[in-house]
Structure 1
Amino acid sequence: MTTSPSNRRRAAVVAGALTAALLLAACSPQGSSGGSSGDHPSFTLTSKTAAPSGDIPSFTWAIYAEPFTLDYAHAFDYPDNQVLANVCESLLRLNPDWTLSPSLATSFSHPTPLKWVYEIRDGVTFHDGSPLTAADAVASMRRHLDPEVGSAWFSVYQNVSSITQTGAREVTVTTTRPDSQFNLAMGGSAGVVESAATLAKAGADYGNSTGGVNCTGPFEFTSWKSGESITLTRYPGYWDSTLKAKAGKVTFLFMNDSTSRTNALTSGEVDGSWMIPMDAVDTLSGSSSGGKLYFGLNTAVNSLVVSNLKGPLGDVNVRKALMMALDRQGIVDAAVKGYGTVTDALTTKSVWEGASKDALATAFTGLHAYPYDVKAAKALVEKAGATGKQIVIRTAPIGTDFSVVAQATAAAAQSIGLKAKIETVTPNAYTTLFSDPAARAGADLFYTSWYLSSPDPLEMYSVLRTGDFSNYGDWSDPSFDAVVSDALGIDDPAARSEKSAEAQRIANDQLPWLPLFESPTSVYLGKRITGVQPSVAFLYYPWAATIGAR
């Protein structure tokens, strides 16, 4: 399988750290089957905040890190996509309720098992005023097939044999085999359409602070001050009257330090932010600044990626033992202050759009549970002959959850007879774990918050197939590969979900990654603004366009 050299992923971060002593105390087990006990905070998911009273000249938004790029082919992480979602648009639109609707394609059809046909919307202009054409869509999509581009979204296109203009406003994608996932991915970065002329002119500078982007969204790219901010301005010629930007300008401020970010929000210096540090929830919830914290739909599962199957974790019994030795409720309490739920699955129920009841039962209630049981876990390690062997947990000073997971995992490993070493790297070096196999050398485990970009769990299990770029530990199971392969060829969501449930059950039993917990998306709106729809769809939906004056 061809791989992408630029594949980056999903290290959801909130800055801050705990001391090891406090951490281990917070994660210490309280019982033999359920881990920590006690009261946990309750929260309500909000689908919509109050409608704006009107437009607003500008607002500011904090993001935890500077985007790596605004090139849609390489936008594969939280900072990149939350900016890009407001500037560039895809063939389909992934909505806050995790459904797909028409966007730059007014419609699509599937006339044969190997063809997807898209009708490109008329009357749309790029930010430079040039009209959107079918040729622009062809050029934009073909970039994902170009090895020189090294698209992070190549896996979406791996079965594509051709992308051609077949009518005045028609684009036809032909695949080598039936692929139900291709069209579902057209609501994310894989379906973005950029001006072909801009791509040719910008060349290697496309998407960076010098080249910028020229798309069709409600905001246009204005400036990028490296290390400081990105500014977008309202595009007056935007085609969709229902999503015309209510703000004249939005400035994204790069704020790596969580304490500084929280202080800026409570003081009103910054108007809002996604992905609030959970140790700031009480502060922001009780803030007298007039702002409000909201929780919304998420598709991410926080997991430990097993990146080395040649060491002790190559034995499934050792992976199971480590799961049983982890006090995952204690991790939830310490890492996200209880705003989360322990899970044994690598997907959330929110992505099982159109699934059958039987499939959901198999996928979730039918899973093998891994309750806290150190004695049984230690026996599994002894059975595997792994007692005294060392595992390396790679982490970074990125956030409380990173610190909690690393320390808790090390403590769990030691409790069952393994040796554990924590290796701390810089945040930038940590990001390369998701793109460069050499960066993962010597690491057995690393932590991720892995979100899905389409309303289908098969996206998750596709990346765990033998040879896939994001199969970071090179796990291989022929029966799993066969199930996923079969599922890809099924168009009906209900029927496909039956196969996806089988894949989830195999992953639950084999543990190529160790699922820990899921938690809601969080967003804070200051006293000046309202109108956002809290949802992880902020990575692809033009959420900033809906924000106006409170």
Structure 2
Amino acid sequence: MTRTRLASGASRHLIRVAAAGAAALVAAASLTACSGGSTGGAAATAEWKLTTTTAKPSGDIDSFSFALYAEPATLDYAYAFDYPDNQVLANVCESLLRLNPDYSLSPGLAKSFANPDPLTWVYELRDGVTFHDGTPLTAADAVASMQRIMDPQVGSSWFSVYQNVESITQTGPMEVTVKTKIPDSQFNQGMGGSAGVIESAATLAAKGKDYGNSTAGVNCTGPFALKEWKSGESLTLERYDGYWDKELRAKSKEMTFSIIPDATARVNAMKSGSVDGSWQIPMESAPQLQASGKGDVLYAPSSATSDLVVSNMKGVLGDKRVRQALLMALDRPGILKGASQGVGEISDVLTTKLVWGTASEAAKKTAFDDITRYKQDLAKAKKLVEEAGATGKELVYVTAPIGNDFSVVSQATLAAAQSIGLKLTIKTVSPAQYTALFSDPSAREGVDLFYTVWYLSSPDALEMYGVLRTGDFSNYGGWSDAEFDKTVNEAVGTMDPAARSVLTAKAQQIANEELPWLPLATGPLPLFLGKRITGLDPSMAFLYYPWAAQIGKR
């Protein structure tokens, strides 16, 4: 999905996906790993494997707690666009569709959906669903919730999911019909995230601009209801006994998110057992967390890649040869080792296989095997710079004091540029100024490169390439390629997932060759799960799936 507005605070794109431990993962008998990997070679400093499920709970639990590295900016689904916001909201509010831990989509508040013609999506809502205040879910609630995201006065972070929508109307007692201006396969893909959340129309009207803040709260349909929000301290959720989905009835009467911005304090809370878990644990702290005996360091499948965004195609990097040269000059194994202690894998593309679940096998081979590999080759890279007439030219790289990976990547980029005859100036800005790079074009003026960890919120790799089309808001460098645009636009209008994946694979090949962004690596999503609790299916879908409802007594 394309983005048009970022939530306040730290951008969702700047958070370190591989911000967790690198100690050798000793999987407990209660954990089941479905796949694994290690970086291999000199960069490998830790053994790790992906964990997709943990043992079923032995029973319910009175309460448990998770640490948050920052307070949510909001619980308003229209603006929820960051890790703290969405990991809380996922357990309280629900969408028309459900994005599952394996990144598949299934019915959510809509018990079914149909695409009777290329311009129409029809959603049939479930009967018997109630909001936390006990009022029943209706089609009018869905229409109000969805139209709100389209309202330019609201300025939703998720507006672009609706960019091709012509109308949203109630067409039956529990039926909503969406008409689009052009065939748009991606609209339905977005209904498993915040863009598809349904809130009580009455609550939206009553709360107004206060909706979703720490005083007004929210009134949704999820397995937990928001009980209390102590600003700067914690958010407490309580089990909603009227929840419609018996399979995801919360196994805990209550759960608390403790807001602990300081990384050391957060780790100490986990080591002491005063909090039971946390997503995105600090990488350097994983060994001590694993050794603490208080729980397990786990690595979940992720939809994110770490990349260098080329933010100025009118400058030196406007020549593809220079972009290719810089990527070939980068010591990416060294970056992986320094930034995440070797946990992860080098990547030459901008997506991970997690979002290719509905693709054909031929498309996946095209997308991940039939591509250019950019191995480090300084001699070849230097020659490309010379051929482009770029020797001695200057690049401006913007970074911020956010985490160790930001420092590692900036210094590695400096070394790479210098090694092939380029000059690179590193400009360090505040985290808030860094966040502005994603939302304010003026903040990118004179900037050639910046670092991001970019995750996808839908189960379709096309989401990534939609944002790189000519003129798209998130096409930060103004890159333009006619064949790419044609391919992506055709894919958007292709409703069959397998057929669409063939076109998406072609788009990935073009991006791999043209390098509008420079891919660095992929890494798992790290977390800590305390010894008191189990039942979680670790996944990047924790931002949209009611993961806390799964957790019970170990």
TM-score of the pair, normalised by structure 1: 0.93
Question: How many Å separate the matches in 1 of 2:378 and 2:259?
Answer: 42
Superposed, 1:10-409 pairs within 5 Å as 10-13=13-16, 37=42, 39-289=44-294, 291-409=295-413
Is the alpha carbon distance of 1:162 and 1:81 closer, same or farther for their aligned partners in structure 2, counting shifts above 3 Å?
Answer: same
Q: Who is 2:437 aligned against?
A: 433
CA distance in structure 2 between the aligned counterparts of 1:280 and 1:314, rounded to whole angstroms: 40
- 8 Å CA contact 2:3–2:474 kept in 1: the answer is no
Shift of the 83–345 alpha-carbon distance from structure 1 to 2, 3 Å rule, reads same
The answer to whether the 8 A contact 1:6-1:151 is kept is: no
**Aligned-partner SS, 2:64:** strand
Match of 1:489 in 2: 493
1:471 aligns with 2:479: no
Give the root-mean-square deviation of aligned CA atoms.
2.1
Residues 94, 108 of structure 2: 8 Å contact kept? yes
Distance (whole Å) between structure 1 residues aligned to residue 95 and residue 431 of structure 2: 30
Q: Percent identity?
A: 64
Paired residue for 1:535?
Answer: 539
Cα displacement string for residues 397-420 of structure 1 (whole angstroms, at most 9, x for unaligned residues): 222212211111121112112222
Instruction: Name the CA shift for 1:200/1:91 in 2 (closer, same or farther; >3 Å).
Output: same
Distance 2:445 2:79 in 1: 23
Amino acid of the structure 2 residue aligned with 1:155:
S
Structure 1 position 36, deviation (Å): 6.9
Classify 1:519/1:39 alpha carbon distance in 2 versus 1 (closer, same or farther; 3 Å): closer
Q: Structure 1 residues 254 and 396, CA, compared in 2 at 3 Å: closer, same or farther? A: farther
Counterpart-to-counterpart distance in 1, 2:259 and 2:445: 30
Q: Against the structure 1 CA distance between its residues 57 and 148, is the aligned structure 2 distance closer, same or farther, given a 3 Å change threshold?
A: same
Deviations 1:369-410 (A, max 9, x none): 111011211222222222222222222222221221111112
- 1:548 pairs with 522, 544, 552, which one? 552
Tell me if structure 1 keeps the 8 A contact 2:167–2:179: yes
CA distance in 2, matches of 1:449, 1:522: 14
Question: C-alpha offsets along residues 277-299 of structure 1, whole Å, 9 cap, x if unaligned?
Answer: 2212222222233x111112111
Match of 1:109, SS state, is strand
1:295 alignment partner AA: Y
8 A contact 1:268–1:526 mirrored in 2: yes
Could you report, residue by residue, the CA deviation over 1:44-68 in whole angstroms, capped at 9, with x for unpaired residues? 2222111222222221211222222
Which sits farther off after the overlay, 428-437 or 130-139?
428-437
Distance apart, 1:235 and its partner CA: 1.4
Question: Is the Cα contact below 8 Å between 1:327 and 1:372 reproduced in 2?
Answer: yes
SS of the aligned residue for 2:475 comes to coil
Query: Which amino acid letter does the alignment assign opposite residue 41 of structure 1?
Result: A
Q: What CA distance in whole angstroms lies between the structure 2 residues aligned with 1:226 and 1:391?
A: 42
Q: Is the 8 A contact 1:335 1:405 kept in 2?
A: yes
Distance 1:411 1:69 in 2: 40
Runs of 4+ with >3 A deviation = 1-9, 13-16
Q: Is the 8 A contact 2:18 2:283 kept in 1?
A: no
Cα displacement (A) at 1:210: 2.6
State the alpha-carbon separation in 2 of the partners of residues 35 and 381 from structure 1.
30
Aligned partners of 1:35 and 1:329 also within 8 Å:
no
Question: Aligned partners of 1:114, 1:131: CA distance in 2, in Å?
Answer: 29
Per-residue CA deviation, residues 136-164 of structure 1 (Å, 9 max, x unaligned), is 10111111211111121122111110000
Are 1:9 and 2:16 an aligned pair?
Answer: no
Q: CA contact under 8 A between 1:294 and 1:524: conserved in structure 2?
A: yes
**Aligned counterparts of 1:416 and 1:436: Cα–Cα separation in 2:** 31
SS at match of 1:407: helix
Q: Which one-letter code corresponds to 2:222 in the other structure?
A: G
User: Does structure 2 retain, via aligned residues, the 8 Å contact 1:308–1:445?
Assistant: yes
1:326 alignment partner AA: L
Q: 1:84 Cα shift?
A: 0.7
Measured in 1, the distance between the counterparts of 2:328 and 2:165 equals 42
Distance in 2, matches of 1:69 and 1:421, equals: 36
> Are 1:490 and 1:496, in contact at CA under 8 Å, matched by a contact in 2?
yes
Q: What residue identity is the alignment partner of 1:412?
A: A
Q: Which residue does 1:30 correspond to in 2?
A: none
* Superposed displacement of residue 3, structure 1: 4.5
Match of 1:19 in 2: none
Kept in 2: contact 1:15–1:399 (CA 8 A): no
- Letter matched to residue 358 of structure 1: A
Where 2:270 maps in the other structure, the secondary structure is helix
Greater mean deviation of Cα atoms: 478-487 or 40-49: 40-49
Letter in 1 for 2:228: S
2-structure distance, mates of 1:491, 1:14: 31
**In the alignment, is the contact (CA less than 8 A) between 1:5 and 1:436 conserved in 2?**
no
95 and 5 in structure 1: CA distance in 2 versus 1, 3 angstrom threshold: closer
CA–CA distance in 2 between the matches of 1:163 and 1:513? 35
Deviations 1:5-37 (A, max 9, x none): 769532223899xxxxxxxxxxxxxxxxx9972
Residue type of the alignment partner of 1:424: T
Q: Is the 8 A contact 2:378 2:420 kept in 1?
A: yes
**8 Å Cα contact 2:223/2:243 also seen in 1:** yes
Cα distance in 1 for residues equivalent to 2:396 and 2:232: 32
Which residue matches 2:509? Answer: 505
Give the Cα separation in 2 of the matches to 1:456 and 1:295. 22
Deviations 1:229-268 (A, max 9, x none): 2222211211111111112222212223322222221111
Does the CA contact (< 8 Å) of 1:56 and 1:246 recur in 2?
A: yes
Please say if residues 9 and 434 of structure 1, whose CA atoms lie closer than 8 Å, have aligned partners that are also in contact: no
Find the aligned partners of 2:417 and 2:458 in 1 and give their Cα distance: 35
Q: Displacement, 1:123?
A: 0.8
Cα distance in 2 for partners of 1:441, 1:383 equals 27
> Does the CA contact (< 8 Å) of 1:124 and 1:132 recur in 2?
yes
| DSSP-derived class of the 1:45 partner | strand
Deviation at 1:319, TM superposition (A): 1.0
Paired positions, count? 533
Aligned counterpart for 2:456 among listed residues 433, 452, 457: 452
* Structure 2, unaligned runs of 5 or more: 20-38
Shift in Å, 1:530 = 1.3
State the shift of 1:352 in Å: 0.8
* Maintained 8 Å contact 2:4/2:158: no
Inter-CA distance 454–5: structure 2 relative to 1 (3 Å threshold): closer
Contact 2:44–2:343, Cα closer than 8 Å, also in 1: no
After superposition, the Cα gap between the structure-2 partners of 1:273 and 1:38, relative to the gap in structure 1 and judged at 3 Å, is closer
CA distance in 2, matches of 1:118, 1:535: 27
